[in-house]
Amino acid sequence: MSAPAPVDEARGEEHRADRSASSALWRTGLQRYAILIVFAALIIGFGVSLPSTFLSIGNLSNILGSQAVLFILVMAVLLPTVVGDFVDLSLGSSLGLSAMTLAVLNVQHGWPVLLACLAGIGAAVCVGLVNVLFVVFFDNDPFIVTLGTMTIVQGVIYIVSGSNSVGIVSTNLSNWIFSNEFLSIPLEFYYGLAIFLVVWYVLSFTPTGQKALVIGQSREVARLSGVRVNRQRAWAYILGAAVAAIAGIAYAGTNGTVDPTAGSALILPAYAAVFLGATAIKPGRINALGALIAVYFLATGTAGLELLGAQTYFQQIFYGAALVAAVTIPKVNRERFFRRRRAA
Amino acid sequence: MPVTDSGTPDEPDKRVSPGEPPAPGGRAAVPPALEVRGISKNFGSNRALDSVDLSIGQGEVLGLLGQNGSGKSTLVKILAGVYDPEPGGQLFVGGEEVALPLAPGQASEIGLSFVYQNLALAGGLSVLENLTLGQRIGGGFRAWQPINWITEHRSAAAVLDRYDVKLDLDRRTGELAPVDQARLAIVRAAEDLRRYRTRSGYKHSVLVLDEPTVFLPEEEVDRLFDLIRTVAAEGAAVLFISHDLIAVRAITDRLVVLRDGRVVGEELTADIHEEKLVDLIVGAPARPGASAPADAAPAEDQRAVELTVAAMESAGDAPAAGENVVAEHLTDERLHDLSFDIGAGEILGVAGLIGSGAEDLPYLLFGARPDAFGTLRLGAETIDVGGLSPARSVRERIALVPADRALLGLSQSLTLWENIVMLVEDEHYRGGVFRRGELVTLAQEAIDRFLIRPPRARNTMSTFSGGNQQKTLLAKWLLARPRLLLLHEPTQGVDVGARRDIYRFVKSAAALHHMAVLWVTTEFGELAEVCDRVIVVTQGRHTATLTGDELTEEDISAAALRQTREDR
């Protein structure tokens, strides 16, 4: 094989660029909106097979409302993930701790519901501070530390609740969160939407968001550019915990009774949604809009499957399959096949 | 010849015109844009910078020259806030003292703008985001104000237009070719500088370029020079760090040479001749401490090698036939049609500065560079370099000792003996059982022969010093009896004693097994000592060969430095 003839680099680059620019654009566009396309296909598919049940206000309300707690937790999870601290496993337990604190104080000690909510947020923020101490200050691996704090907090929840479910939380709270509806959709969806709008705005349109992004992408470049890396990371943990606490309040309002395992089952689906969302809209980047779409895409899928009569475990399979497919499909391209053939 | 812009509209009196020695009272009137006094930096016992004094006047382009290890990068990193200098040094920016040490990124607040050697671009961010990154720093209310991406896009496009650079603002920076990434880094630094100057009322400002020409082809370098001249004409000071002598002579007004952490020369660019410059950089009769042993060593070394070979033979190590190695038309991103040959048992050195492409050679020949072309002939076999992979290279008995030994060469968490026998384990797997005892004994022999200390086979690899790890790495490869041994910076971070051992091991293995050796390093003195022949690679091409009496550190350095650009 002879070496390629020396080419005028600038011209050569342009030629190569032209040829691949159009196909690259096509591929990028497809990748960014793939999930929306599949989402639309899903809606059409279910709509056609179950016109009366699927395409109903009741169903829409069910999808949007039932996932609100998860939606808020997803926003919480987004924060430490964006700054590059994958993963904060303790956020699920922070949700549970805040819900349980609220319930115990309100039901067993007669605290007014508003104060109990604030106490719940305070408790979760303490967990966030502990994480900051061990992950940021002592420079440990976030996965390992938050795995530890998660299990510790879980234990604390059992202690505080006496291993019992605690209820029924003030109906005032339930009204504000779950019972009252606007446009037939429970209010908690709108709280989630509000949090989403704030997070989305900050990440996409403010210098703070840009700094967070750089920290997550290249910590060293961020440092060289003068970003206060550890400070931002610390805030990410604290705010993440606070938002998880709000998810906990929503949980308490929705269910009325808080059981000790609240939140623990939600952390993995939350991460699934965040990572699935990272493949959409701004591929390769953790982003809020993508996460929003991912949560409701997954919710629509499972709701449709339930209406079709599928068992609830299908939800698990659907979540997992969607996530794996979403991260693999962008990698499937011609280069990969060529390289393997050459090495053989 | 440096081009002088005739008078700038805004600051006719602040410009220091090149070619004229600064008037004695001149500096007192206008403070230098940047001045460091007495900056030192120690890394353990290594004095990387020793009381360095430097100053750059406004509108002046200062070149900073020096070999690897001379302290250039260390100085830049201190200015960038990455390293803290030893107490006692002082920094003055625009005549005002700035407290040391600097925090990372603080430099941009005081008017310093950098183009780092590694460009400091976030690969996952878009070109637009990287370009505007400097504007996002800063707290308070500004950190929460909305960014209008549409106007930012438009003004960024205008900026690129102004610098005549064509880049897709929405493309992921990591996907750009290195040339484009370099262009982006340069435009960003120049724009940040401009913004700082507008904000600070045209006071001082300094542009620091660390090896900017490494990624740039010919035409780009000229455009970079135009940019530097424009920036200097506007009154900024430019610090141009490079080993590219021709570039330095073309663009700088004055230059400073660092050697072993000290300033050894400060000259006006127009006044100095290339030969004298090379002398200053390399140092006339090398370092006094190193010369003496270098003269005595050959005879002593030769005897040590002979003894080692005899010992190996008596231990049952059979001499092998060995094969000639011919590499032809090696081409990759930086190499252009490079060809050379190595005789069986010959140690061929490759001298090339950073960016010359020489550092790609060992990995390319080992199959660790998938996008390369070329042919490798080992004895009677011909192998297409593009089809090589590390697994295949091991099968073909090609060995690679990479520069980043901790990460790429050894497993830090396994034990010493496990690391040593890694490549020959298969030979001791019989009847479904690993003959552990045999392997440990084999490792023990290697430990004795290669003088690895402490000689405890069951200690974890990470507990061994750099020199001993390198000896382990060498032992591991030599046990597999390669036909071709590729070394990249083999004595980097290795103490003096281990270095001599490594030279001896490689020489004796080459002598006994007639193994061909390719030794690539920027320590030219080492090449002079160990190699039989040295080829010089500049800008991806084979530009010189040195043998016999020409094998001295000075001659090799001079050859590598001298031909950094095709002679016009």
- What tens digit of pLDDT does each residue of B87-112 get? 888 998 888 888 888 888 788 888 89
Highest mean pLDDT among A191-195, B160-164, B261-265, B306-310: A191-195
Residue closest to B436 by CA, chosen among B418, B448, B461, B409: B418
Name every residue whose Cβ is closer than 8 Å to that of residue B339 and which is 6 or more positions away in sequence.
B326, B327, B328, B329, B330, B542
Chain B residues lying within 8 Å of A10, measured CB to CB: 219
pLDDT at A138 over 90: yes
pLDDT in tens, B120-164: 898 889 999 999 988 888 777 888 888 999 999 999 999 998 888
Strands of the B96-98 sheet, one edge to the other: B46-56, B34-43, B90-93, B96-98
Residue A265: other Cβ atoms inside 10 A = 11
Lowest mean pLDDT among B54-58, B192-196, B463-467: B463-467
Helix (H, G, I), strand (E, B) or coil at B75: helix
Q: Are B75 and B49 in contact (CB under 8 A)?
A: yes
Q: Take residue A275 and report the two structure tokens written for it.
A: 């990572």
Q: What is the mean pLDDT of residues A287-301?
A: 90
pLDDT of residue B238: 93
CA dist B414 and B428 (Å) reads 18
pLDDT of residue B564: 52
Which A residues 311-340 touch B at CB under 8 Å? 339
Chain A residues lying within 8 Å of B329, measured CB to CB: 2-3
Of B104, B116, B122, the CB nearest to A218: B122
Q: CA of A199: which chain B residue's CA is closest? A: B144
Give chain B's length. Answer: 568
| Disruptive mutation site among A23, A206, A224 for chain B (greatest number of B CBs within 10 Å) | A224
Of A3, A9, A221, the CB nearest to B329: A3
Name every residue whose Cβ is closer than 8 Å to that of residue B559 and which is 6 or more positions away in sequence.
B351, B536, B543, B544, B546
pLDDT of residue A11: 46
Residue closest to B538 by CA, chosen among B562, B518, B506: B562
Tell me if chain A has a CB within 8 Å of the CB of B382: no
Tell me if chain A has a CB within 8 Å of the CB of B375: yes
Name every residue whose Cβ is closer than 8 Å to that of residue A35 and which is 6 or more positions away in sequence.
A276, A279, A280, A290, A293, A294, A297, A326
Q: What is the mean pLDDT of residues B16-23?
A: 44
Give chain A's length. Answer: 344
Better-scored residue on pLDDT, A338 or B240? B240
Which A residues 234-253 touch B at CB under 8 Å? none
pLDDT of residue B406: 65
CA dist B566 and B564 (Å) reads 7
CA dist B522 and B352 (Å) reads 7
Strands (E), chain A: 181-182, 185-186
Q: Take residue A99 and report the two structure tokens written for it.
A: 């819900």
Tell me if chain B has a CB within 8 Å of the CB of A282: no
Helix (H, G, I), strand (E, B) or coil at B123: coil
- Please report which helix (H) or strand (E) contains residue B105, including its range: none
pLDDT of residue B8: 39
Name every residue whose Cβ is closer than 8 Å to that of residue B285 and which is 6 or more positions away in sequence.
B291, B554
Average pLDDT score, chain B: 81
Q: CA of B390: which chain A residue's CA is closest? A: A343
Per-residue pLDDT band for A24 (boundaries 50, 70, 90) equals low
Residue closest to B488 by CA, chosen among B521, B532, B510: B521
Q: What is the DSSP code (8-state) at residue A318?
A: H
Of A9, A202, A226, the CB nearest to B105: A226
B540 CA to chain A: closest CA distance, Å? Answer: 12
Helix (H, G, I), strand (E, B) or coil at A206: coil
pLDDT at B194 over 80: yes
Which A residues 32-71 touch B at CB under 8 Å? none
Chain A residues lying within 8 Å of B373, measured CB to CB: 1-4
pLDDT of residue B2: 39
Let me know the angle formed at the C-alpha of B530 by B529 and B536, rounded to the nearest 5 degrees: 85
pLDDT in tens, B522-536: 888 889 889 999 999
Q: CA of A210: which chain B residue's CA is closest? A: B136
pLDDT in tens, A213-230: 999 988 888 888 888 899
The distance of Cα A24 from the centroid of its chain, to the nearest Å, equals 28
pLDDT of residue B153: 93
Better-scored residue on pLDDT, B118 or B416? B416
pLDDT of residue A174: 83
Task: For CA atoms B357, B358, B359, B364, give the dihedral sign.
Answer: positive
pLDDT at B416 over 70: yes
Q: What percentage of residues in chain B have a pLDDT greater than 70?
A: 88
CA dist A299 and A291 (Å) reads 12
pLDDT at A200 over 90: yes
pLDDT of residue A7: 39
pLDDT of residue B318: 66
B318 CA to chain A: closest CA distance, Å? Answer: 33
Name every residue whose Cβ is closer than 8 Å to that of residue B454 and which is 6 or more positions away in sequence.
none
Better-scored residue on pLDDT, B410 or B293? B410
Q: Are B62 and B252 in contact (CB under 8 A)?
A: yes
CA dist B262 and A244 (Å) reads 56
The DSSP-derived string for B502-546 is HHHHHHHHHHHH--EEEEE-S-HHHHHHH-SEEEEEETTEEEEEE
Q: What is the mean pLDDT of residues B34-44?
A: 88
Q: Take residue B394 and report the two structure tokens written for it.
A: 């091991």
Lowest mean pLDDT among A27-41, A64-78, A104-118, B445-459: A27-41
pLDDT in tens, A143-163: 999 999 999 999 999 999 988
A/B interface, count of CB pairs below 8 Å: 102
Torsion of CA B62, B68, B70, B76, to 10 degrees: 50
Lowest mean pLDDT among A8-17, A159-168, A174-183, B177-186: A8-17
pLDDT at B470 over 70: yes
Tell me if chain A has a CB within 8 Å of the CB of B122: yes
CA dist A112 and A120 (Å) reads 12
To the question of pTM greater than 0.90 for the whole model, the response is no
Q: What is the mean pLDDT of residues B209-238?
A: 84
Q: CA of A1: which chain B residue's CA is closest? A: B374
Average pLDDT score, chain A: 84
Q: Are B513 and B479 in contact (CB under 8 A)?
A: no
Per-residue pLDDT band for A10 (boundaries 50, 70, 90) equals very low
- The reply to whether residue B143 touches residue A206, judged by beta carbons under 8 angstroms, is yes
pLDDT at B275 over 50: yes
Let me know the angle formed at the C-alpha of B399 by B398 and B403, rounded to the nearest 5 degrees: 140
Give me the amino acid identity at B534: V
- Whether the bond between A177 and the residue before it is cis, its omega within 30 degrees of 0, is no
- The reply to whether residue A217 touches residue B122, judged by beta carbons under 8 angstroms, is yes
Of A9, A222, A227, the CB nearest to B217: A9
Q: What is the mean pLDDT of residues B170-187?
A: 87
CA dist B377 and B10 (Å) reads 63
Strands (E), B364-472: 373-378, 381-384, 398-401, 429-430, 433-434
CA dist A71 and A247 (Å) reads 8
Residue closest to B145 by CA, chosen among A214, A211, A202, A226: A202
